[in-house]
Amino acid sequence: MRLIGPTQFFRMLRINYVLARHGLDDIIFATHLLRPFRFMIYALPWNWFRPNRAPRGKRIRRALEDLGPVFIKFGQMLSTRRDLLADDIADELQMLQDAVPAFPNETARQIVEKAFGKSLEDLFESFEADPLASASIAQVHGARLKTGEDVVVKVLRPDILPVIKRDLSLLYIIAEWAARYSSQIRRLRPVEVVAEYEKTIIDEMDLMREAANASQLRRNFEYSTDLYVPEIYWDYTRRNVMVMERVYGISIRNIELLKQTNTNLERLAELGVEIFFTQVFTHNFFHADMHPGNIFVDNKDPQNPQYIAVDFGIMGTLNQLDKRYLAENFLAFFQRDYYKVAKLHVESGWVPAHTRVDEFEAAIRSVCEPIFERPLKEISFGQLLLRLFQTARRFNMEVQPQLVLLQKTLLNIEGLGRQLYPDLDLWTTAKPFLERWMNEQVGTKAMLSGFKENLPYIVEKLPELPALIYSVLKKASEAPNQEKHLHEIQKLREEIKRSNQRNAIAIGGASLLMSGFILLGLTDNEAAMVMGAPLISWILGGVGSFFLLYAFQD
């Protein structure tokens, strides 16, 4: 159990002071410890002379800004959840996405010049003093290279790492206390969640890593018209400074301008869902900070708009088991197969093995059944997750920390979809993609892909077979009592000879079978149909299968 040190103690005092200074005393007295003394709010002197308080949304935003990057990130996440927040609060928190107070231009200039050991005049043709945007971790300035390209220069905030580590240490203490004294919060695994968040935010402060993320994402969508990723200029990139191509588009949150330019908002909303699932299940590399401040739209063709992404500090990946598990769960939800959902949860270890699947199935059905066949504007993932958690308490279900980024991204996608096209049917949009992905994982295509991946290993090991056989025979011939084992050696030689014959037959059969698969894949071609490719493919497959059965019979 971590103890509060002087640094964390004074930080907690600072947090309470900031909340009180911005007129948010009720949050302080809503804590379990101070709830009995809530009446004291009205006895505090600074509450006697506040006749003209700022609106509550502005007070909350200013408090988060004063508390620093960790709290700003929290506000950014909340800003996309308009179904959970009042409009006035959501509007203010939205400003945290790229309107955090900037640090002085002279400071930015010094950071860039120190990083490259050159003056700004030597590095750039021009450099804009006023930042284009300022966020919790860094701010961005426009510039032009000596070679004429328009770029943006991202500069990390000075001395930010000690601030981040201080607040993270406080979060760990709060998480440990909460887990120790609340069984309900313990199931959320708050310490593991904080650890995952720590890894994410520390990685976000390395702009070399962000540049590498951007390059990978750009390569993944290199030939796509769905998402555009700016180019990175590696010669101008360091750990605390990054230079990338300057892109122009309409901010995704400027719905009015998108409507005025006749942008197809329905297509834009569907495209956002498709891009998300492509990143998660096809590329296994997804943008995990997709709040509206990081997304723009290129609507040169209003009916076929293209997304433009920026800010690649937070990216997520999943292992193969996680992807398979998620895809099966999504499909089971879409098909309303609640028994399979419950069974998958038990098999994955998310709920204890002794859980009665039928009872868990009934609980999931009562939560999920009402949401289907309704437009997105009538469905709240936030409320759904809340109800699922309330239901799952009875079954001791635990949150999986490795999926926190994915859950956060899903919430961002929902918030984005609500703003663009409230009638979007998320289920109908996502279901065909997931079905196609699952077929690729378990169908004929997956089998051929697995054979193709393993073929180099098989070919690599074949030359070692004669030497291995020779080694076995030599050891046998040099063993004591050779005459006694002569008969066994002769039998081994005959078995090796038969094995070689079977291997030859098996290789021939596999070749015929593969030829049949290849021809079968050509049956969509009209010319191949005329030439009888389907019939030939079945004949080759049959003969190949016969050879394989003969080769491997006992």
Query: Are 542 and 479 in the same domain?
Result: yes
Domain boundary pick from 416, 442, 468: 442
- Do the domain assignments include residue 138? no
- Do the domain assignments include residue 382? yes
Name the residue range of residue 484's domain: 444-551
Hey, what long-range contacts does 165-168 have (CB within 8 A, 24 or more apart)?
166/7, 166/8, 166/11, 167/11, 167/67, 167/68, 167/69, 167/70, 167/71, 168/70, 168/194, 168/197, 168/198, 168/201
Query: Are 513 and 405 in the same domain?
Result: no
Hey, what long-range contacts does 500-505 have (CB within 8 A, 24 or more apart)?
502/551, 502/552, 503/551, 505/547, 505/550, 505/551
- Do the domain assignments include residue 152? no
Give CA–CA dist 447/477, Å, rounded: 42
Counted domains in the chain: 4
Query: Are 397 and 533 in the same domain?
Result: no
Query: Are 463 and 366 in the same domain?
Result: no
Neighbour tally for 106: CB within 10 Å = 9
Residue type, position 154, single letter: K
Query: Are 282 and 346 in the same domain?
Result: yes
* Contacts for 192 with CB less than 8 Å, ≥ 6 apart: 401
- Do the domain assignments include residue 18? yes
Query: Are 311 and 406 in the same domain?
Result: yes
- Do the domain assignments include residue 114? no
> Dihedral (C-alpha) 537, 541, 544, 550: value to the nearest 10 degrees?
-160
- Do the domain assignments include residue 109? no
Known catalytic membership, residue 289: yes
Neighbour tally for 530: CB within 10 Å = 8
* pTM score above 0.75: no
Residue 496, pLDDT score: 63
Query: Are 458 and 415 in the same domain?
Result: no
- The C-alpha angle with vertex 47 and arms to 44 and 52, in degrees rounded to 5, equals 175
Structure-block tokens of residue 509 = 């059969």
Q: Where are the alpha helices (DSSP H) in 68-206?
A: 69-79, 87-94, 105-116, 120-123, 161-181, 183-186, 190-204
Query: Are 289 and 438 in the same domain?
Result: yes
Domain boundary pick from 53, 68, 97: 97
Query: Are 343 and 283 in the same domain?
Result: yes
- Do the domain assignments include residue 113? no
pLDDT mean by block of 10 residues, the chain; 554 residues: 67 77 64 51 56 77 82 71 67 72 90 94 94 87 95 92 83 77 66 77 90 96 93 95 96 91 92 89 86 88 94 85 79 83 82 86 85 67 63 69 70 78 77 77 60 62 68 64 56 62 55 54 47 51 50 50
Smallest Cα–Cα separation from 210: which of 167, 154, 294? 154
Query: Are 450 and 404 in the same domain?
Result: no
Domain boundary pick from 388, 408, 442: 442
Structure-block tokens of residue 215 = 């390059």
Query: Are 309 and 435 in the same domain?
Result: yes
> Dihedral (C-alpha) 55, 56, 58, 61: value to the nearest 10 degrees?
180
- Do the domain assignments include residue 104? no
Q: Point out the catalytic residue in the list 98, 289, 311, 425.
A: 289
Query: Are 350 and 426 in the same domain?
Result: yes
